[in-house]
Chain A
Amino acid sequence: MEYVIEMLNIRKVFGNFVANDNITLQLKKGEIHALLGENGAGKSTLMNVLFGLYQPDGGEIRVKGKKVNIANPNVANDLGIGMVHQHFMLVDTFTVTENIILGSEPKKGGQIDIERAEKEVRELSERYGLAVDPKAKIADISVGMQQRVEILKTLYRGADILIFDEPTAVLTPQEIQELIQIMKALVREGKSIILITHKLKEIMEVCDRVTVIRRGKGIGTLNVSETNPNELAALMVGREVHFKTEKQPPKVGKPVLEIEDLVVKDSRGITAVDHLHLTVHAGEIVGIAGVDGNGQTELIEAITGLIKSESGSIRLNGKEIRNLTPRQITETGVGHIPQDRHKHGLVLDFPIGENMVLQTYYKEPYSKRGILNFKAIYDKARQLIQEFDVRTPDEYTKARALSGGNQQKAIIGREVDRDPDLLIAAQPTRGLDVGAIEFIHKRLIEQRDKGKAVLLVSFELDEIMNVSDRIAVIYEGKIVAIVDPKETTEQELGLLMAGSKRKEAGVSS
């Protein structure tokens, strides 16, 4: 069998941290090969080695049977290796063609031959069924289209081997289907693909073989036709994974959060939350289902005091907290796992330890009379890192250096540890792998079982259906229905979320 790429016993070490420990990956010509692993397992490191961004400390790389030394990405390009990055590297104000030719512009008499370039881009686009308009501006096209431009960029540079770094993380379900078709078209034309992912469904659907790595170690390579999601999940995480989180029936107590007639305007002054009513009781998880942009963000920011609301009432355990400061609200007993962990959740340039006391640094034992007690801070951090399985070299590492899943675990650890009466979780599992998702769901249910109220906002219906005890559907700033997850279907929820079906709702149950 001919391999186009062979990475044999690759080892990469950062300081004392072994990111890749003797990993072997062999890519056949014309196959889609998945690279599966949890966040922080070493997938990106391995691919950066292949792309020439990192130099391996051990092992060797062969391209079409020949041993190569990939000193930098230019060498990778020359070898026909192209990378479709997760975060697009595009100039917003340039056209599709301008972006594609950037760095290897065709010239005619000292000028860029834009017409020839456009023709070439159009041809490539048609050949692989990408349907990209070469003259469109990047700023004007959808995220899915921008990704295709990234694909075209690699093809234009003559790549035969394409690396896709978690390509579906930013796409809508429909765009994902289209991407899958594109990938199939690419392999039909003789390209070979490495797909970095932690989504099992995609692997089962599109890949031929899969290489699993766990905590920097290569676990093995399997034929997709001979495996199943459960086996893959177990290999990836190192234990059995339950997709459906087990939970007892809720023991619902008194109301903890009572929202009445709440009106919130967004940053442009448009009413985002429109006379909304919602009650969350002790011992239950209320999931807010809705299409992005129907007032979820504003609702949460108003409850937590990040933005001011216009009118209405928000009571926590009977105490009015509307338009108090974030600190007053935090001290009343609200924990908040924010939607955007980089913007709100963490100070990325602080050590992970200092991030663990972001809301409590001014209290004993973390400080006394204004002087910080670093021993107490880092003791706490160590405890939370252990308890919440945050994988980090140590507690002094900057939060920026951690993978997304581990950053999220750190935030959840911090919020849960304060033992708030109301825990608000906004998109708590976005971009995380199955192991981390399971872990986070368990923690949310644990809080519920301890008699706390949990408010979950998510755009993933699976998550809402799986975790919530009650589902509140939000549409245009109003709760349009409250349904029992056991008695509803995704179809019904979908219709409610689209606003096409209204139920009498809003009053607390």
Chain B
Amino acid sequence: MNENRLTNILVPVFAVILGIIAGAIVMLVSGYDPIAGYSALLYGAFGDRYYIGETIRQVTPYILAGLAVAFAFRTGLFNIGVEGQLIVGWLAAVWVGVSFELPKVIHLPLAIVAAALAGALWGFIPGFLKARFRVHEVIVTIMMNYIALYVSNAVIRSVLSDQGFKSEKIHPSASLRSEFLQSLTDYSTLHYGIIISLIAAVVMWFLLEKTTTGYELRAVGFNQHASHYAGMNVNRNIILAMVISGAFAGIAGAMEGLGTFENVSVKAGFTGVGFDGIAVALLGGNNAFGIILAAILFGALKVGALEMPSAADVPTELVDIVIALIIFFVASSYLIRLVLTRFKKEGK
């Protein structure tokens, strides 16, 4: 049992190490200095207070997107629609943020709840279609992403602005910005969202592992027939799983809308955060704590990469290649597992 747990931790760690080594080889072959490149990456992620602030800010939506993917996955569903749920959450949060002027204790929670509800609605539709008509959630969620993107753009143009490209800035009463956190981190864009995302991780863990609802969701995820036999409402649980997953994704959107940008603008394409959430969940083993660690890694790679072109002349595209390689090695964890067990045997 403990040996298994150790392997579960070692596999993603080795995947990351292998990804970094493979990335170094790619840099070498392309004629860049990998040591300078990685030093710049590391400095750009954790080098000083400002960079640390930026990294944490980037980690915030990654945690929530990872939780959203993992929650659905733990209940046997593959939610590719986190991106779309995030976009509608972002839109809803900003909409509430600009439309009302309320005391902060009401306005901020209201905006976050609106984002969660919007994401939940975007999750409910594929959940309902799956439960009622057995339509595969992967197809529906992919399509829902496009609907979210273009609906959001249309609303921004015609409702939240006068044919403009972005909404007004939200009222300060709905903002997650924190002067305290900003001053602590040399005026980065760090905001209170990180606290919300950490709370969300605890909520996911508690909900899945400690409650009867989580018990049902996990049972349905593993074996629908046995769940039906045991008297659980399988369809209700499928919908509930997608709704909760969508709510996490919606809150991830609120982090961007209420914290990082304080507005919402017309997007030419997807933010990518929702899709990265799939990788975060995978690397984090669909476990709340693992997701936090994986989100830190992804946030650091993303923010640190910005430093690589200027400090080491390495193009940011290479960082994307390294990230892809890490995901590749996690996905082929079977191979790593095999090597690990081989080592263990020889050690005996």
Q: How far is the CA of A367 from the CA of B218 in the complex (A)?
A: 16
Q: Are A367 and B219 in contact (CB under 8 A)?
A: no
Is residue B213 contacting chain A, with contact meaning CB distance below 8 A?
Answer: yes
Q: Which residues of chain A in 321-363 are interfacial with respect to chain B, using CB atoms and an 8 Å cutoff?
A: 325-328, 330-331, 336, 338, 343-350, 354, 358-359, 361-362
Q: Are B222 and A350 in contact (CB under 8 A)?
A: yes
Q: How far is the CA of A15 from the CA of B2 in the complex (A)?
A: 10
Which residues of A lie under 8 Å from residue B215 when comparing CB positions? 354, 361, 372
Q: How many whole Å from B28's CB to the nearest CB in chain A? A: 37
Which residues of A lie under 8 Å from residue B219 when comparing CB positions? 347, 350, 358
Q: Which residues of chain B in 201-245 are interfacial with respect to chain A, using CB atoms and an 8 Å cutoff?
A: 210-216, 218-219, 222-223, 225-233
Q: How far is the CA of A306 from the CA of B222 in the complex (A)?
A: 18
Q: How far is the CA of A328 from the CA of B321 in the complex (A)?
A: 55
Q: Is the interface of B mostly helix, strand, loop or mixed?
A: helix
Q: Is the interface of A mostly helix, strand, loop or mixed?
A: loop
Is residue B1 contacting chain A, with contact meaning CB distance below 8 A?
Answer: yes
Q: Are B210 and A371 in contact (CB under 8 A)?
A: yes
Q: Are B231 and A344 in contact (CB under 8 A)?
A: no
Which residues of B lie under 8 Å from residue A330 when comparing CB positions? 230-231
Which residues of B lie under 8 Å from residue A343 when comparing CB positions? 223, 225-226
Q: Are A372 and B228 in contact (CB under 8 A)?
A: no
Partner of B212, one of A331, A346, A361: A361
Partner of A346, one of B1, B226, B345: B226
Which residues of A lie under 8 Å from residue B225 when comparing CB positions? 343-344
Which residues of A lie under 8 Å from residue B222 when comparing CB positions? 347-350
* Known A344-B226, A347-B222; contact A372-B231, beta-carbon cutoff 8 A: no
Q: Are B218 and A344 in contact (CB under 8 A)?
A: no
Q: Are A359 and B212 in contact (CB under 8 A)?
A: no
Q: Are A326 and B213 in contact (CB under 8 A)?
A: no
Q: Which residue of A lies closest to B214 (CB)?
A: A372
Q: Are A345 and B229 in contact (CB under 8 A)?
A: yes
Which residues of A lie under 8 Å from residue B214 when comparing CB positions? 372
Partner of A326, one of B3, B230, B345: B230
* Known A361-B212, A370-B211; contact A347-B1, beta-carbon cutoff 8 A: no
Q: Which residue of B lies closest to A327 (CB)?
A: B231
Q: Mark B1-43, 1 if CB is under 8 A from A, else 0.
A: 1010000000000000000000000000000000000000000
Q: How far is the CA of A380 from the CA of B230 in the complex (A)?
A: 17
Partner of B226, one of A325, A358, A362, A367: A358
Which residues of A lie under 8 Å from residue B232 when comparing CB positions? 327
Q: Are A358 and B212 in contact (CB under 8 A)?
A: no
Q: How many whole Å from B134's CB to the nearest CB in chain A? A: 14
Which residues of A lie under 8 Å from residue B216 when comparing CB positions? 361
Which residues of B lie under 8 Å from residue A346 when comparing CB positions? 223, 226
* Known A330-B231, A359-B231; contact A347-B223, beta-carbon cutoff 8 A: yes
Is residue A243 contacting chain B, with contact meaning CB distance below 8 A?
Answer: no
| Residues of B that sit less than 8 Å from A by CB | 1, 3, 210-216, 218-219, 222-223, 225-233, 345
| Residues of A that sit less than 8 Å from B by CB | 15, 55, 304, 306, 325-328, 330-331, 336, 338, 343-350, 354, 358-359, 361-362, 367, 370-372, 396
Can you give 20 contacting A-B residue pairs, CB < 8 Å? Answer: A306-B228, A326-B230, A327-B231, A327-B232, A330-B230, A343-B226, A344-B225, A345-B229, A346-B226, A347-B223, A347-B226, A349-B223, A350-B219, A358-B226, A367-B212, A370-B211, A372-B210, A372-B214, A372-B215, A396-B1
A344-B225, A345-B226, A346-B223 given; 17 more Cβ-contact pairs under 8 Å: A55-B345, A325-B231, A327-B232, A328-B231, A330-B230, A330-B231, A338-B229, A349-B222, A349-B223, A350-B219, A358-B226, A361-B212, A367-B212, A370-B212, A371-B212, A372-B215, A396-B1
